[in-house]
């Protein structure tokens, strides 16, 4: 997976690191978090080049768009800041379990 960020026309260079991608299997829970099988991917550190990847550095997101490319597919990521990861960009989508390899379906069952 290749993560890239496109700053606005007159912005400084962007640094992208701490990328991730995983299959998330959520069971029913009392927290109210939706259940199902999700493909999740993103980066916890998208910052202006030279800036530290530290919490509460929201200036890094201003005028920035981020996308992830794998093969011929490119998808936009959403800014997903929190108190712990203010430089976090992510995307998730539901996965059809029947389309997964048999070994993966066994683990999820």
pLDDT at 60: 64
pLDDT at 55: 64
pLDDT at 73: 84
Domain parsing of the chain, residue ranges = 2-108
Using one digit for the tens of pLDDT, what is the confidence trace for 61-105? Answer: 667 788 888 888 888 888 887 777 778 888 988 888 787 777 776
From the centroid of its chain, how far is CA 73? 15
108, containing H or E segment: helix 102-108
Nearest to 18 by CA among 7, 5, 3, 6: 3
DSSP 48-106: ETTS---TT-GGGGTTEEEEEEETTEEEEEEE---SS-TT-EEEEEE--GGGS-HHHHH
pLDDT at 59: 66
SS3 content of the chain, % helix, strand, coil (to 5): 15, 50, 40
pTM exceeds 0.75 for this model: no
Using one digit for the tens of pLDDT, what is the confidence trace for 12-51? Answer: 677 888 888 888 888 888 888 888 888 899 988 888 777 7
């Amino acid at each position: 997976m290749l993560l890239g960020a496109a700053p606005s026309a007159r912005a400084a260079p962007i640094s992208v690191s701490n990328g991730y991608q995983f299959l998330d299997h959520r069971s029913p829970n009392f927290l109210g978090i939706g259940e199902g099988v999700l493909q999740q991917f993103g980066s916890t550190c998208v910052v202006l080049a030279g800036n530290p990847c530290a919490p509460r550095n929201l200036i890094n997101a201003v005028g920035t768009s981020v996308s992830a490319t794998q093969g011929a597919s490119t998808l936009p990521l959403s800014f997903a800041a929190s108190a712990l990861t203010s430089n976090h960009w992510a995307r998730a989508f539901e996965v059809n379990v029947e389309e997964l390899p048999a070994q993966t379906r066994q683990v999820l069952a």
